[in-house]
Amino acid sequence: MKYGWIVLILILCNGCVNKDTVVKNGLSPEMVSVRDSLDTYFSSLTALKKYNGVVLAYKQDTLLLEKAYNLNEDPESSTYVTAHSQFDIHSVSKLMAYYLVAKLEGEGKLSGSQNLDMFFKGFPKGKQITLNMLLEHSSGLPRELSHIDGEEYDLVSDEIVVLAQQERLLFEPGTDVQYSNVGYEILYNIVSKMYGKPFSQCVVDEIFVPLKMNASGAHFFVKENRLRSLAQNHVLKDSVVVKVDNIQRDEFRTARLFSTVNDLKKFLDHVKSEPYASFLKNEHGIIAKDGGSKGVRAQVYSDLENSFDFVLLANYDEMPFFDTIEDVVKLLKSEPVEFPREINRKAILLDEKVLQQYVGSYTFADFDGLVLEVKVEQNHLVILQDGEKIGELLAESPTVFFENPKAAESFEFIKNDSGTYDALMGWKGITVQGKRD
C-alpha cells in the first residue's frame, strides 16, 4: 500500500514539474512545435545558401524565436550578423510615413482626403490626387522618376517633387493601382513640411525616440548618428557571395532608415493598438510592409486577428522573399508548409510551333518598365534586353520555363484577353507580370 502511494505521489510531482516547466518557459507544446518549425525552416534555408539574417517571431505576445542565421559563423565574416545588428529597412519607411499621416490626421493637422493642390500649386491632376491615393499607390504616378538628369542620390526632397510634376500619369487617379516610390516621396515631403524638418528627422523625433527605438536611425538628414553595428549587404555573383554598397547611387536619400528586429517589434506593438490599428490594417486585420534593395531584404508583419507578429531582416538577397513570408505566416498559424529543399528541375523538348507563339516583347511595369524580348534560337527560347542576349529558357511544361534548374523561379506564359500571351516572371520569390507589346 505504501508503495502504491509513493508511485502516485511521484506521478503527481512529475506532472507538477512538467506544468511548471511549461509556465516557466512560457511555451505550450503547440508553441514549441511552431518555434521548432520556424527554426528548422530558416536553418534549412541557410544551409541551402538562401538566407543570412535575423528572425524575430511572437505569438499571443509570447516570444517564440529570436535568432540570427549565418552563412559563415565566423564573427569576422562580412556576412555575420547578430540579433542586435542594424539593417537598412528601405520601404518599411513607407509604413512609418503612413503612421505619421495617421498621427497628424488624429491631431487635426492633416487629412487623407486632402488633394495635392493644397500643398503644391500647379501639380498635374493635383485637384484629383489625394493623400490617400498616395498612401494606397492609386495616384497614377509611376514607380520611379523618368525625367531625371543625374543620379537619384543627389536629389533633395523639393527637387524630387518638382521632377514628379513632370511625370506622365499611368492612369487616371483612383482608377488603378501601381506601386509608386515617387508617390511616397511626395508624402515624405508633405510630412516634412508639417513638422518643419526633414522626413528622416521626423521619424527619429516622432517614432524612434518616443518608442525607445534606440538602435534605429537614418543615414541622412538627421542631427544624431545612431549607427553602431550596420549589417553589410551582399549578393550572389557567379556562385560567390560578395559585398555590395549599402548606399546605392540610384536610390533617393530621403528615407534611408535602419533598425533592428527588436526595435521594429516595438513599432509594431505601438501601431497595432488604437487609434492607429484601424488606420493601418488591411481588410484581413494585417499590418505589414516589406522593403529591400540590392543585397538586403526586410519585412514587418502583424496579424491582429490571429495574434502573431514577426520581423525578418536579411543582409543577403538570395532568399525567395515572398514565398518565405507566405510560409512564415502559415507556420505561425500552425499550417503545413513545404520546407526548403534542394531543387533539381528537369527540362523537356517542345515543338518549335509551341515556342513561336511566345515570341515578342514584354513590358514589366513593376520593374520600372523593363522590356524583355523573347525569341526562338536552336529550338530554345532566349531572352534579350536592349538587343543583348541575357538568358536561355528551358521548358518544364508547354507554358512554364526556367533558366536555372536549381532555382524555383519560372518564366510562365499565360493567355490574355486578346488571345496572345503575357508573361509571369519569377525573381527571388517575387512574381511580376509582363504585358505583351
Listing DSSP states for 380-404 in one string gives EEEEEETTEEEEEEEESSSSEEES-
- At 390 the pLDDT is 93
Q: Where do the domains of the chain lie, and which CATH numbers do they carry?
A: 87-332 (3.40.710.10), 352-436 (2.40.128.50)
- At 26 the pLDDT is 65
- At 15 the pLDDT is 41
Yes or no: say if 391 and 380 are a contact pair by the CB < 8 Å rule. no
- At 426 the pLDDT is 86
Q: What angle do CA 174, 180, 186 make, to 5 degrees?
A: 90
- At 91 the pLDDT is 98
Ranges under pLDDT 50 in the chain: 1-24
Q: What angle do CA 355, 385, 345 make, to 5 degrees?
A: 50
pTM of the model: 0.86
